């Protein structure tokens, strides 16, 4: 049962009309599924799926020198972020731990940040303590249109969307609404995220859902999609105790920033770059069909505990379970044999490359 403290997105009533099963997530009431998680997963892989991600925090920075000021809090190259481009980066603590993973878009006259709902209050406090002006947008919704037909659907209402490159951003008018659009997402598929004035959110969502290719989708499908894509979930796969190097996302460190090492936790991260971390996040394929859920112990061939699963589920696209977890660096090579302790019994597994399902971004080779 939802409590009164759970917030509702601008699409809450629409979700109810569409028959969504709702549940609280990070302080918000969000749809878990509509017609079924498997069907929604397949819609994103074969056509288009529309997700309500309005629980995510949205912040803009429009003061002079915003990129340089924000760069002091993250390891990414934001000064070098060109207009109409977006970059994935992270807030770090002094130990190199990940406080949050965020998206930063350069719209030319302002930066647009998307932050995780569970970390929004902490992130905003961090920004306000370090920056002269921070605008928090509680008046905007965020939709994610994902799948191989997403560009076709969106281009019917905003033809310029079809020309956006991967991690490109633009200000587009969709159904009369002035939207901030990025070609990005959290499924491994081509797709777009649309920041929309809250008053226009239902109208835009209904326009996109009216397309025969588009299905509404909820949190359950979103989780299996991002897991198949090998993407981290904050609080599960990354947190304040994990560094970008341990999380196997060292590509988020800009080339210039690796040389200057002038960001929080740089001493720890610099040492890990030079010497290697003690542990690494890896992809794991359990044998059989039993999924290994988060918290499952990982053991080596001698039965010694060597790590734990941080995300695990049955992968609909593969018809088999997959998982991610942290293991000692000497056990992180592909094909390494491991064991998973599921319901008290040891199940064989092996380390495999990620993503489990190939990414199908419009331009996979873009460096960001």
CA distance linking residue 324 with residue 352, whole number of Å: 10
Contact 194, 174 (CB under 8 A): yes
Per-residue confidence (pLDDT) for residue 363, from 0 to 100: 73
Asked if residue 364 has pLDDT above 90, the reply is no
CA distance linking residue 138 with residue 197, whole number of Å: 9
Q: Is 56 exposed, middle or buried (0-12, 13-18, 19+ CB in 10 A)?
A: buried
Residue range 115-125: mean pLDDT, rounded:
98
- pLDDT of 25-39, one tens digit each? 999 999 999 999 999
Q: Is 194 exposed, middle or buried (0-12, 13-18, 19+ CB in 10 A)?
A: buried
- pLDDT of 12-28, one tens digit each? 999 999 999 999 999 99
What's the mean per-residue pLDDT of the chain? 96
Per-residue confidence (pLDDT) for residue 5, from 0 to 100: 78
Confidence band, pLDDT 50/70/90 cuts, at residue 4? low
CA distance linking residue 78 with residue 70, whole number of Å: 8
- pLDDT of 311-336, one tens digit each? 999 999 999 999 999 999 999 999 99
- pLDDT of 36-80, one tens digit each? 999 999 999 999 999 999 999 999 999 999 999 999 999 999 999
Preceding omega of 355 cis (within 30 degrees of 0): yes
Per-residue confidence (pLDDT) for residue 2, from 0 to 100: 38
- pLDDT of 144-189, one tens digit each? 999 999 999 999 999 999 999 999 999 999 999 999 999 999 999 9
What SS3 string covers 251-304?
A: HHCCHHHHHHCCCCCHHHHHHHHHHCCCEEEEEEEECCCCCCCCCCEEECCCCC
Tokens 């909820």, located at residue: 218
Strand order in the sheet with 7-8: 7-8, 28-33, 21-25
Q: Which domains does the chain have, with CATH numbers?
A: 1-238 (3.30.1360.120), 250-352 (2.40.30.110)
Residue range 260-283: mean pLDDT, rounded:
98
């Amino acid at each position: 049962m939802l409590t009164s403290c759970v917030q509702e997105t601008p699409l809450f009533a629409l979700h109810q009309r569409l028959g969504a099963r709702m549940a609280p997530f990070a302080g918000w009431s969000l749809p878990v599924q509509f017609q079924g998680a498997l069907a929604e997963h397949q819609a994103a892989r074969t056509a288009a799926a529309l997700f309500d991600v309005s629980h995510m925090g949205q912040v803009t920075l429009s003061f002079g020198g915003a990129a340089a000021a924000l760069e002091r809090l993250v390891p990414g190259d934001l000064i070098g972020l060109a207009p109409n481009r977006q970059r994935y980066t992270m807030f770090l603590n002094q130990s190199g731990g990940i406080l949050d993973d965020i998206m930063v878009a350069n719209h030319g006259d302002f930066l647009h940040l998307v932050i995780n709902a569970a970390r929004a209050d902490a992130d905003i406090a961090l920004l306000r303590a370090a920056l002269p002006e921070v605008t928090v947008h509680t008046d905007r919704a965020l939709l994610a249109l994902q799948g191989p037909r997403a560009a076709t659907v969106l281009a019917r209402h905003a033809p310029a969307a079809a020309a956006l490159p991967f991690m490109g951003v633009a200000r587009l008018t969709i159904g009369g609404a002035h939207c901030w659009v990025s070609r990005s997402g959290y499924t491994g598929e081509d797709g777009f995220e649309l920041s929309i004035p809250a008053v226009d959110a239902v109208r835009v969502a209904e326009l996109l859902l009216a397309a025969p290719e588009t299905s509404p989708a909820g949190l359950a499908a979103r989780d299996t999609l991002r897991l198949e894509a090998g993407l981290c979930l904050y609080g599960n796969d990354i947190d304040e105790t994990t560094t970008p190097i341990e999380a196997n996302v060292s590509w988020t460190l800009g080339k210039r920033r690796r040389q200057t090492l002038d960001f929080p936790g740089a001493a720890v991260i610099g040492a890990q770059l030079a010497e290697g971390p003690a542990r690494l996040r890896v992809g794991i394929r359990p044998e059989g069909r039993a999924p290994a859920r988060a918290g499952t112990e990982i053991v080596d061939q001698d039965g010694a505990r060597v790590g734990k699963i941080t995300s695990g589920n049955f992968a609909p696209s593969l018809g088999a379970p997959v998982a991610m977890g942290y293991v000692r660096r000497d056990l992180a090579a592909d094909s390494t044999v491991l064991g998973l302790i599921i319901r008290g019994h040891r199940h064989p597994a092996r380390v495999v490359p990620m993503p489990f399902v190939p990414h199908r971004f419009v331009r996979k080779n873009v460096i960001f």
